[in-house]
Every structure is written in structure tokens, then in C-alpha cells.
Amino acid sequence: MRSSKARFQANCKDDNCSFRVHAKKRDEGEYWEIRKIDKEHSCTIEGFQSRFRQANSSVIGELVSPKLRVNGTALKPKEIMTEMQVHYGLHIQYTKAWRAKDHAESTVFGPAAESFQRIPLYLYMLERTNPGTVTDFELDDDRRFKFCFFSYDACIHGFQSSIRSVIAIDGTHLKGRFHGILFVAACSDGNEQVYPLAFGIGHKENRESWTWFLRHVRKCIDCRTDCMFISDQHKVIKNAMRIVYPDAPPTSVYST
């Protein structure tokens, strides 16, 4: 590309390609006039891919973000790699696809750190728009996120009125930039479908976090005294159950 303050000339990065554009600045005003342009590219994507730089992760993230916005489900790096190969003829590495995934999710859903900052507002709106919903939020000594809990009023009311008093509790590790544990309490309805009762998020899985979560679950179901709990054989769950339900008989807690 050869240009100056009065002339502009550009061509494709492939020297053998026929694409050219020539422009000249008009004498009057700040306008530019295109004098000649060959708009058709005679190069191929294979030749371009083999000799020139590929799109970076930010560009790829922008390309896949519309799909994420429509589907609303998390993208997988291998899916991004396949889409780039099929639709754009670009072969990208797994690490670049992972960075593109992070960029797309940040573009569509907002930065992860900002999402944590909005948790108190989200919980407030849950209680305001769903009266009877139980929520709570706790920070550590450094004013950083530690725990949160929420159980929708409809879930609580349904459990109290028509759901069998057998509750399965479990936790799973969250993936992403900020790690943590997702706690879940669920039941089975009359159609043998999963009935969600309560959710919690903690910074780590230990006795403190499980105790915090189970105490809030108890607030939601304390009207029933015949509850049975099912969990795996994790030691911290057993210890937390003894703290939250000190008077419960051993048969009220089952392990799988």
C-alpha cells in the first residue's frame, strides 16, 4: 500500500490478487474521490491462510457472539473450532478458541467480576417481584463474595403442599475465571421429574459453606418435620447435617 496526504492506494495482502483501490483527495474541501477500484479478489482462502496471520481471539469472539446471544447456552471451544473451519475455512488452536469463548461470553453476558457485583441487586429483585422468595448474601472480611442463597416462593410453596419430603442435596464445582461451588437441594415430584427447591453458591466446599447452605434450606422447609435427606458420602455434608439438625435421628440422612 502506497499512500500520501493527497493520494491513497491499497491492495490485497496477496500480491497475486487483482484487488486494487486508488483514491485521490479533491482540491476543494476534505473529500476523497475513488479513481479506480477492482473489487473482486482473485486470491483464495487457502493461500491466505497458509501465508498470513489469522484473526485473533477477539475477532473470533465477535463472530460467534451472535450465536451465543440467540441460544443463551455456553459455547464449547471445540464447537468454535468447528464453526471457524466450516464457515470461514480457518483452522484455529484450542487455546485461541478458549480465549474467543471468554471474549464472546464477556460481550454477551458482561464481565464475570461485574456479574458478581450485581448478585445483591438480583437477589433484591427476586424478593421484590416474587414475594415469599428466600434469599441471602454474605461477604468475607475483605468485602469479597463468600455465599449466596435463593429459593423461589413457588418452589417453597409446592414443597410444603404437595412434594414428598425426600430431599437430595449435592454440590458441584463451577468452571470459569472465578471458581466456586454450586449447592443444590432438589426433590422428585409426582411425575418423577426433578423438582428444584433451593440453590446456593459458596467460595469453596467445606463444613462452613455446607452448614450455611443447609441452615437456609431449613428455613424454607422447617414447617415439615418428616424430611429425609439423600447425599453422597462426603464427610463435610455429614458434619454439617449434625450441626443444622442436631436432634435428627440417624435414619433421617441417607448416603448414596
How does DSSP assign the chain, residue by residue?
----SSEEEEE-SSTT---EEEEEE-SSTT-EEEEEEE------HHHHHHHSPPP-HHHHHHHHHHHHHHH-S---HHHHHHHHHHHH-----HHHHHHHHHHHHHHHH--HHHHHHTHHHHHHHHHHHSTT-EEEEEE-TTS-EEEEEEE-HHHHHHHHHHS-SEEEEEEEEE-SSS-EEEEEEEEE-TTS-EEEEEEEEESS-SHHHHHHHHHHHHHHHTT-S--EEEE---HHHHHHHHHH-TT--GGGEEE-
- pLDDT lower than 50: segments of the chain: 50-52, 256
pLDDT of residue 107: 86
pLDDT of residue 51: 47
Distances, alpha carbon 145 to alpha carbons 22, 103, 176, 193, 210, in Å: 57, 23, 15, 33, 16
Query: pTM above the 0.85 mark?
Result: no
Of how many residues is the chain composed? 256
pLDDT of residue 52: 44
pLDDT of residue 136: 95
pLDDT of residue 28: 75
Question: What are the residue boundaries of the structural domains of the chain, listed by start?
Answer: 1-51, 53-110, 115-255
Chain segment 4-47, per-residue pLDDT in tens: 778 888 888 777 888 889 888 887 777 888 888 888 888 776 55
The answer to whether 145 touches 163, Cβ cutoff 8 Å, is: no
